[in-house]
Amino acid sequence: MAFEFTDANFQDTALAKDKISVVDFWAEWCGPCRMITPIIDELATDFKDDESITIGKLNVDHNPNVSVEYGVRSIPTILIFKNGKLVDKNVGVTTKKALQDKISNAVQTA
């Protein structure tokens, strides 16, 4: 299962140094978000043994502060952070392959 990011844990988990975090901003009522959920769960399973990568979800209805801070106005939005800095963004439905490519790119960049 994907990690659950919250307003309370976001700073310490998603923005951790020496780490890549993939954060899916979603809501229960969002149809396209439900389409992304299995992909996020699969990626979380694929990367579960890599302690340098955290893949998870942040419910925008329950955690509005982070959503506002990063200007998330449309969901699903997936933000990728590396060493505490935003390095990539995807708005809307996407494929597992596209997200894998974005994660690989984040791993490879300095």
Residue 102: what are its φ and ψ, rounded to 5°?
-65, -40
Q: How far apart are the first and last CA of the chain?
A: 29
3-state secondary structure of 103: helix
Q: Under a CB-based contact definition with an 8 Å cutoff, are residues 59 and 27 in contact? A: yes
The answer to whether 30 is a known catalytic residue is yes
Give the active site residue among 2, 23, 33, 44: 33
Q: Is 86 left (phi over 0), alpha (psi -120 to 50) or beta?
A: beta
Choice among 15, 16, 27, 30 that is catalytic = 30
Rounded distance between C-alpha atoms, residue 64 and residue 43, angstroms: 24
48 is catalytic: no
Residues assigned a catalytic role:
30, 33
